[in-house]
Amino acid sequence: MTWPILQRANSNHMKRFFTAFIFLMTTLAWAQPQAVTWSTSYENTDEHTIITVHAEIAEGWHLYSQNLDEGGPIPTSFILEDDSSFTTVGGWAEGEPHVEFDPNFDMDLAYFSDAADFTIKLLPTEKEFTVKGELEFMVCNDEMCLPPTYEDFSVRVTNAPVPSIWKGLGSTFWLGFLGGFAALIMPCIFPMIPLTVSFFTKQSKTKAEGIFKASLYGLGIIVIYVALGLAVSVIFGSDALNQMATNPWFNLAFFALFVIFAASFFGAFEITLPSSWVNKADDASNKGGILGIFFMAFTLSLVSFSCTGPIIGTLLVEAGSKGSLLGPAVGMFGFSLALAIPFTLFAAFPGWLNSLPSSGGWLNTVKVTLGFLELAFALKFLSTADLVWQAHWLERELFLAIWVAIAFTTAFYLLGAFRMPLDSPVTTISVPRLSFAMVFMILGFYMLPGIFGAPVKLISGFPPPEHYAESKSGAYAQPVINMVGAGESAAVEVEHGDHCPNGLPCFNDFDAGLAYAKEVGKPIMIDFTGWGCQNCRKMEENVWVDERVHKRLRDEVVLISLYVDQRTEFPEDEQYISEATGRKIKNIGNKWSEFEEVNFGAVSQPLYVFLGHDDLKPLIETRGADLDIEAYIEWMDRGISAFQK
């Protein structure tokens, strides 16, 4: 009844009434006690910096959780300012709230009383930086609720645990170590262990001298291979090595090289270095002393090249494609360490030589099995070149069919169904041989349904993406969803992109996506991706397939997938020199790569960015590859919420 009365009042009375009303509300607000007092702190662990935002809650008041259903009070939420000094690890965590039914809102509400802590993990890139952000919260007591309030927060972090480069190169080291172990049990090296160790023990007057000389021998192996890794980095440079990962011509060359390596392992021919090199190194090793020991190690490296060459080549390509200047050297260190350790240990404990299995046909079996693996990895390089060129030579079904065939062929080989040229007759199947055969057989059966559309997540990132297939709607594949979502006008004409993962509606051009986002009133989520990006495929095949993530990508955002290695060239009159980077923009990939670098300060993929419609400032922090589905959903919800506000 109040509004009709006010409508009949004259304008002067109206002004007086609203002035008095505003004054009264302001007075009451100032008269209320401070319901929440906020403070910030941080803690450095071995790997992360943990930011804590602490809330001291006045007696009788409730501060609400971040996780509330719609229709209730405003949940507590946080937005961090973008900063290149750190990246977030997951979302904001909170303590265990109290959950109780609230008759005023007619729903269960999660809230905190007395105090609450909200924390987030950061991965620093600098020793010192400032974390700034804004939080929104709402509090109620038994009688009233205060309006939603915004609060800025800031905390200065010092002595942050910047990750060591060696942590980032850890996978490269272990890959090299496994490669060295594989080389160790090859026919060219394994028989050398007892011969070399016996030489050192017989030529030494004491056991300690034998151990010392064997250790120098092992150190020589490490120095030689690490020097090789450093030479690769110095000659090519980290940027050039990184470009190899997506350059189709380099990938075709690597494919051919790996096929040659596989044929060598199968026994078609041997990859050997010139005999004059081996003879000169052998002559130098006879001089004795430390220099002689070093040349003994060098001789081993040359003589064993027919076995180690393919493994070293594989390792250098893998390490170099990650773009780190130290990658090849670290990989070679792991490789050489695996080779060097046995010589030192067996020199120290000669009795252990009796426990080694005798040389025999099993050594060639190891070599042939590695040949099958080389052939499988060769296919990945051919696939990358095909994806970048969009030639459709090797679509998902054919790729998986070849891998299935390799897996079954390897299993049959290990079971003695056929022999390769240098193999000995198989009279019995040992337990290790049977075990490895079963592993390959299981892998074959696991990958088989992938030909018909099954996700095969264990090998995600290696085959082409699901939308790069002969049939995009196989027996298991999700159907392609119309671009017009529920509640939108079917009159909206949409020309969406040709390369959209997981059957999702998307754009492959930023301007087209922006125009559509303005028309339908949704936030933009940019997906900086690439055909040669293995982590992009892992995200699509492990995170984006989740029903909750898929729904948000389909219905609540406008997805723009930009391929930074798309080689489709612009007409010559549309090519240009970038004012920002000075590089020539010749093709679509150049354009989107520069767009990512200039506007978001990143050159890696995947990179996910939430944007509004007015500028290129991210609504929340950007995100890279992270297979934590719950954290990804929380990040998406914050991006959507930031746009709606």
What confidence score (pLDDT) does residue 513 get?
93
Cα separation of 483 and 404, whole Å? Answer: 35
Asked if 253 contacts 260 with a C-beta cutoff of 8 angstroms, the reply is no
Angle at 139 between CA 137 and CA 145, to 5 degrees: 125
What confidence score (pLDDT) does residue 56 get?
94
Cα separation of 330 and 421, whole Å? Answer: 35
What 610-614 contacts at long range (C-beta under 8 Å, 24+ apart), as own/partner pairs, is 610/523, 610/524, 610/525, 610/557, 610/636, 610/639, 610/640, 610/642, 610/643, 611/523, 611/524, 611/525, 611/526, 612/523, 612/524, 612/643, 613/514, 613/517, 613/518, 613/524
Secondary structure of residue 36 in the 3-state scheme: strand
Per-residue tokens: 71:
């229709």
What confidence score (pLDDT) does residue 439 get?
95
Whether the per-residue pLDDT at 559 is higher than 60: the answer is yes
- 94's enclosing H/E stretch is strand 86-94
Whose structure tokens read 């074959």? Answer: 444
Which has the closest alpha carbon to 406: 375, 362, 360?
375
Give 161-209 as a DSSP string: -PPPHHHHTHHHHHHHHHHHHHHHTSTTTTTHHHHHHHHHHHH-SSHHH
Specify the range with the lowest mean pLDDT, choosing from 402-406, 451-455, 560-564: 451-455
Give the pLDDT mean for 158-165: 69
Asked if 396 contacts 468 with a C-beta cutoff of 8 angstroms, the reply is yes
Which numeric CATH code is attached to 480-487+495-644? Answer: 3.40.30.10
Options 2.40.50.140, 2.60.40.1250, 3.40.50.300, 2.160.10.10; CATH of 34-163: 2.60.40.1250
Cα separation of 86 and 80, whole Å? Answer: 11
Distance (Å) of CA 446 to CA 439, 451, 459: 10, 10, 10
Output b/e per residue, 295-310; b: 16+ Cβ within 10 A: bbbbbbbbbbbbbbbb
Instruction: Name residues whose C-beta falls within 8 Å of residue 435's C-beta, 6 or more positions apart in sequence.
Output: none
What confidence score (pLDDT) does residue 252 get?
87
Where are the extended beta strands (E) located within 449-488?
Answer: none
Whose structure tokens read 């391929």? Answer: 563
pLDDT-above-90 percentage for the chain: 24
pLDDT tens across 516-551, in order? 999 999 999 999 988 877 778 888 888 998 999 999
Asked if 370 contacts 306 with a C-beta cutoff of 8 angstroms, the reply is no
Burial (CB < 10 A; 0-12, 13-18, 19+), residue 196, is buried
Cα separation of 528 and 603, whole Å? Answer: 9
Whether the per-residue pLDDT at 279 is higher than 60: the answer is yes
The pTM of the full predicted model, rounded to 2 decimals, is 0.53
Instruction: Name residues whose C-beta falls within 8 Å of residue 424's C-beta, 6 or more positions apart in sequence.
Output: 360, 361, 364
What confidence score (pLDDT) does residue 239 get?
46
For the chain, which residues make up each domain, given as ranges?
Answer: 1-31, 34-163, 167-356, 362-473, 480-487+495-644
Whether the per-residue pLDDT at 228 is higher than 50: the answer is yes
pLDDT tens across 313-371, in order? 767 766 655 555 667 788 888 888 888 888 778 877 777 777 777 666 777 888 888 88
pLDDT tens across 17-64, in order? 443 443 344 444 444 457 899 999 999 887 789 999 999 999 889 999
Whether the per-residue pLDDT at 561 is higher than 90: the answer is yes
